[in-house]
A and B are shown apart, each in its own frame.
Chain A
Amino acid sequence: MNKNEEELIKELLQSGSSSEEIKELLSVTRKLSQVPALQRSENFKKQVAAKLFPKEETKNIFNWPRFFVPALAALFLIFIGTTSVAAAQGSLPGEALYPLKRWSEKVAILVVPSFKNSIPLRRSEEVKELIEQKKDFHLFKKTLDEYEEELEKHGDKDSSSESDSRKNLEEAKKKASDKEREELEETLKRIENKDDDEVDKEEGKVESEKSGPSDKHKGDKHNEDKDENDKD
C-alpha cells in the first residue's frame, strides 16, 4: 500500500465510509493507477526541446555585450582611417586619396605647428612625381604655384627642407617637357630674386645700424656752415 492509499483510507474513515466502501473505492484507485504510464521517449523530448528552445548564437558578434560592439566599431574606423591616411601620403594631385593627404597636413599642422615648414618640400616632391609620371600639365602647374605660395608663407631659406625642395625642382627639369621646364625655371628664378631682395634688405639694415645719420642730413649741415660763413 502506498502513501496515497494510506492517506485516502484515513480520509474515507474520517468521512464515515464503511470498510466495504473503502475496499471498493480502493479497487477503483488501483485500476486507475494500473493504466500504463503515457511517456514520450527521451529522444523525442530532446528533439522537441531543441525546437522550442533553440540554441543561442554565442558566436554572433551582435550578441556580444553591448559595449564591445561600439568599441570594436570605433577601433575598426580608427584602423580604416589610419591606413587610409597612410596610404594617402603617397598620392598625387588628381588622385582619389589626395584630398585626404591635404586634410591630414592641416591636422598635422594643428598638432605639430613646425610641420608647416615641410609643406613646400612635399609640394616639390609632388611636382617632381607629376613630371616623372607625365601627368596633366595643369595639375603640374597648379602644384608648382602652390609650392611657391607655401614657400612664401612658410619657407625658411636657410633650412635644409627648402634647399631640398629646390633640388627636387632642379631634378624635375631633367625629365620635364619644354613647357614644364620653362615654368620650373621661372619659378626658381622668382624664388632666387626674392631671396636676393631679402638679403639686400638684411644688409641695408646692418649698414644703417653701423653708420650715423644719413647723407641727406649731412648735406643740410654743410649748407648751415656755408650760411654761417656768409654772415661773417
Chain B
Amino acid sequence: MASREEFEAIYVEFSDKIYRFLYWRTKDTHLAEDLTSEVFTKAYGSWDRFNGEYVQAWLYQIARNLLVDTYRKKKEISLNKIAEPSYDQELIEKIDKDLRIQELTKALETLSENLKEVVILRFIEEHSAKETAQILEISEVNVRVLSHRALTRLRGVLKDE
C-alpha cells in the first residue's frame, strides 16, 4: 500500500480534476464530493495492484466506473465508509452563483453521455486527444470524431443563448 504521505500528495494533485469531472457529470456538488472521496478511497486500497504509469487516467477510470454503478443503482455509495463527508462550502456557493457555470451545465445536458465526457475531458479540462483516449479507453480517432460531433451540437446550443 502507498504510504500515507505519498497518497495524500496524489489526492491533493488530482482530486480537483476528478471532482470537476464528477460535478459536470452529475451537476450535484455534494454528490461529486462524495464520489471523489470514494474514488480515492478505492484507489488507495488498490494501489498495490496498480502497475501503470498514468495515475490520472486510472483515477478517471475509477470515477467513471463508480458513476456507472451509481446510476445503475447497483452500488450505493456507502457514505458510512467516508468518515463524515466534508464539503467546500465556498466552492459550492461559487458554483451556485456563477452564471457561466449554470449556462454550461444546461448546454452539456443536451449531449449524450459519451459526447459529454469528451467535452469535459478535452475542452473543459483541456486534456489532449491522446490523454482523453487513454481515459475513455477508446481510440484517438474516435475521440476526434466525438469531439467534432460534440462541438457542432454545442455550437447550436450556445449560439441560441
Contact = CB atoms under 8 A, between A and B. Distances in A.
A34 B104 CA distance: 10
A38 B95 contact: yes
A45 B9 CA distance: 10
Given A35-B100, A40-B91, A4 B126 contact: yes
Contacts of A46: 8, 12
Nearest to B120: A32
A15 B128 contact: no
Given A38-B20, A39-B16, A33 B7 contact: no
B160 interface: no
B135 interface: no
Interface stretch (A48-56, A192-200, A218-226): A48-56
Interface string A21-64: 00011011101111111111110111111111111100000000
B66 interface: no
Contacts of A31: 104, 158
Contacts of A29: 123, 151
B55 interface: no
Contact of A53 (B11, B88, B95, B147): B11
A21 to B, nearest CB: 8
Nearest to A56: B4
B68 interface: no
B133 to A, nearest CB: 12
B15 interface: yes
Nearest to A43: B88
A127 B104 CA distance: 100
A28 B151 contact: yes
Interface string B27-48: 0000000000100110010000
A40 B15 contact: yes
Contacts of A7: 128-129
Contacts of B88: 40-41, 44
A49 B10 CA distance: 10
Bin the interface of chain A by size: 35 or more
Given A25-B152, A45-B12, A47-B86, A35 B101 contact: yes
A7 B132 CA distance: 13
A171 B7 CA distance: 78
Contact of A52 (B11, B95, B152): B11
B91 A38 contact: yes
A51 B84 contact: yes
Contacts of B95: 38
Nearest to B83: A51
B25 interface: no
A11 B101 contact: no
Contacts of B129: 7, 11
Shortest 5 CB-CB distances between A and B: which pairs? A32-B123, A40-B88, A49-B8, A25-B151, A44-B88
13 contacts: A4-B128, A7-B129, A25-B155, A28-B155, A33-B124, A35-B100, A37-B16, A45-B11, A48-B15, A48-B37, A51-B86, A52-B11, A52-B82
Given A11-B144, A25-B151, A38-B101, 17 more contacts: A12-B148, A25-B152, A27-B155, A28-B158, A31-B104, A33-B123, A38-B16, A38-B94, A40-B88, A41-B90, A44-B88, A44-B91, A48-B15, A52-B83, A53-B4, A53-B44, A54-B4
